[in-house]
Structure formats: structure tokens, C-alpha cells
Amino acid sequence: MEDQWRIAKYDPAWRDLFLETGSKLREALGKKAVRIDHVGSTSIVGIDAKPIIDIQISVSNHENLLDYKHEIETVGFVFRAENPDKTKRYFREEPGSRRIHIHVRQAGSFSEQMTLLFRDYLREHPEDCLNYAEEKHRLMSLYKDERPKYVEGKGPMVWSILKRAHRWSQEIGWQPAKSDA
């Protein structure tokens, strides 16, 4: 298995990996999933990223874990109860499999919308994409062996981008496009 805790050059295969997994999730979840979206840096054409596919599944009630847990597990993911982020339920790949993170969020929630806005804004703003990628490279070189510090270090850049994304969303009347899967 390749080392996925690194920043890699953009790989068009990331979209195919999402589409393959997203279609399996859609088949398993059916209408229980309001949306299934490719999110995170691997969803943005041209940006360097950790080669870990992030998938956001939007459901009508993310608190009701039994409504969707079994279906996601049948596709090959493991529920991670220890996730400290109460705005989502978190699943990871089975040990030994390619890294894929599943984030189940409440449809229409702030966290769901913020994730989609961040992605869509970066897709439309290459200069911010480049700056974000450079910051990720810088942080990875500083914190290669300290994942929490790497993640925490991205915070100021992410919030700065979200501030611009918020203004942009108001200027264009942004709404999320159709679900990716």
C-alpha cells in the first residue's frame, strides 16, 4: 500500500476512485442518501493533495445511525465511534484497503454546506487553490510525523478561504450543484 500521508501531485484517477466508491454507496443507500459528494482536495482538479478520497454523504437525519450504518459497512467501511466532531458520523476503509474517508452529515446543515462551498469555491479560484496547496506542502514538511499539528496548521488558511467563499457565494447566489453520485 502506498504511503498516503503525504502531499501528492493531482491525479485524475482520484475522480474515478470516487465514482467507483460513490456508485457502490449510492446502490447500497438508495434514497437514504440525499447527496453523495466527492469533497476535500482530491475533488479539485489540479490541486496537490493527500491521496485520500473524502466522500460526504448527506442524510435527512445523521443522528439516526441505524438508518445508514449497515449499508455503508456492506460497501467496506468501518464506523469510527471515537470521532470527536459531533457534526458528522465518520467511517474509514477496512484495514489494508485504500484510504477513503466517509463523512455523513445532516442534509442542509452548516457543516454540510460549508464543505460543499469550500470545494466549489476552490474549483473556481485557481489562485486560492495554489496558495492552499503551497500551505499544505509547507505544513507537511514541518509536521510529517505530527498529524494533529498538520491538521491544526491548515485552520487559518481554511478560514481565510471560507471568508472569501462566503462573499463569493453571496455575489453569485451559490447553491450546491446536483449530487456527484
Provide the domain count of the chain: 1
97 found inside a domain: yes
SS (H, E, C) 115-174: HHHHHHHHHHCHHHHHHHHHHHHHHHHHHCCCHHHHHHHHHHHHHHHHHHHHHHHHHHCC
Of residues 137, 94, 79, the one with CA closest to residue 1: 94
Domain CATH code at residue 26: 3.30.460.10
Of residues 167, 157, 114, 152, the one with CA closest to residue 133: 157
Range of the domain at 84: 13-172
Q: Write out the chain's pLDDT in tens, 181 residues.
A: 456 678 999 999 999 999 999 999 999 999 999 999 999 999 999 999 999 999 999 999 999 999 999 999 999 999 999 999 999 999 999 888 889 999 999 999 999 999 999 999 999 999 999 999 999 999 999 998 898 899 999 999 999 999 999 999 999 999 999 999 9
178 found inside a domain: no
pLDDT value of residue 97: 85
- Amino acid residing at 79: F
6 found inside a domain: no
- Tell me the pTM: 0.94
67 found inside a domain: yes
Phi–psi pair at 127, nearest 5 degrees: -65, -45
57 found inside a domain: yes
